[in-house]
Amino acid sequence: MLATIVLFSCNDRRHPGRIYMPDMTYSRAYEANAPNDLAAKGINYLPFPVPGTIRRGDLFPYTLSNDSNGYKLAIDIKDPLPPLDSVGLNEAHRLFNINCAICHGPNLDAQGPLAGKVGGIANLKMPQYVKEPEGQMFHVVTYGKNNMGSYASQLDRRQRWMVIQFIKSEQAKISAPKDSVAAGSGTTKDSTMAKK
């Protein structure tokens, strides 16, 4: 009877309830996303990778700085990935839908669910974004610009380039059939800008 009362008394939704054997339930090892006292104990612990190291199989780090000069220099940065096959493009499309489409819209027209709440969303179908060099796009995705934040923590370098390839392939679809002349003038403009 006493056991019944004890067992039944902890039925409050604000409390996690009781368990049989706490030492088998709660981890003795440090868990992810939980605070730890290793630094306070003087134990050598690095929350970040060692500076200068690259994860196996990862792309080389992006070294341009987050300022207007870096943005200017980013014009010359080229996509290190080979062109994506259809499976890669599908994956890039999926990443775009998760991370970008909430603002830039599934059709790249800045009509995502957050349009009207976040200001100054780039309409990626506009000529200046169709012409935007891929390196500058990478710079913006890496560091953010105006109201856009940095996506470096959500997309790794390879994924960022994949998403940019996807955007460029979608932009090619809208600009190509209309006027091939405009696209031609765009490339000449880019090359002159690169010369500066």
Partner 1 sequence: MSTIHNSVLVMHYYRRFIVRTITYITFLLLFFFQNFLYAQNGEQIFKANCATCHKPDKDFTGPALAHARDREPTKEWAYKWVNHVDEMITTDPYAKQLFAKFNSKMTQFSDLKKEDIKAVLDWADSYTPPAAPGGAVKGGEAAPEDNSLLYGLLTLVLAVVALILLQVNSNLKKLSDEKQGIRTPNPVPFYRNKAYLLLAVIVVFLIGGYFTIEGAVGLGRMKGYQPIQPIYYSHKVHAGTNQISCLYCHGGAQDSKHANIPSVNVCMNCHMAIKEYTGEPVTTDEGISINGTAEIQKLYQYSGWNPTSKTYDHPGKPIEWVRIHNLPDHVYFNHSQHVKVGQQQCQTCHGPIQEMGQVKQFAELSMGWCINCHRETKVQFNDDKGNGNKFYSIYEKFHEDIKNKKYDSVTVEKIGGTECQKCHY
The CB-of-3 to partner 1 minimum distance in angstroms stands at 6
Q: What is the CA radius of gyration of the chain?
A: 24
Rank residues 78 and 149 by Cβ distance to partner 1 and give the closer one.
149
The CB-of-34 to partner 1 minimum distance in angstroms stands at 8
Contact between residue 61 and residue 54 where contact means Cβ atoms under 8 Å apart: yes
Phi, psi of 133 (to 5 degrees): -65, 145
Rank residues 35 and 82 by Cβ distance to partner 1 and give the closer one.
35
Rank residues 58 and 76 by Cβ distance to partner 1 and give the closer one.
58
* Alpha-carbon torsion (102, 125, 80, 146), positive or negative: negative
The CB-of-140 to partner 1 minimum distance in angstroms stands at 13
Nearest of 195, 135, 194, 145 to residue 165 by alpha carbon: 135
Phi, psi of 64 (to 5 degrees): -65, 145
Rank residues 66 and 78 by Cβ distance to partner 1 and give the closer one.
66
The CB-of-81 to partner 1 minimum distance in angstroms stands at 19
Listed in sequence order, the residues at least 6 apart from 70 whose beta carbon sits closer than 8 Å to its beta carbon are 64, 139, 143
Contact between residue 137 and residue 148 where contact means Cβ atoms under 8 Å apart: no
The CB-of-132 to partner 1 minimum distance in angstroms stands at 13
- 107-129 burial, b if ≥16 CB within 10 A, otherwise e? ebebbbeebeeeeebbebbeeeb
Chain positions contacting partner 1, by CB under 8 A = 1, 3-4, 6-8, 11, 13-20, 24-28, 32-35, 87, 97-99, 102-103, 110-111, 113-123, 126, 128, 144, 146-151, 153-154
Rank residues 32 and 50 by Cβ distance to partner 1 and give the closer one.
32
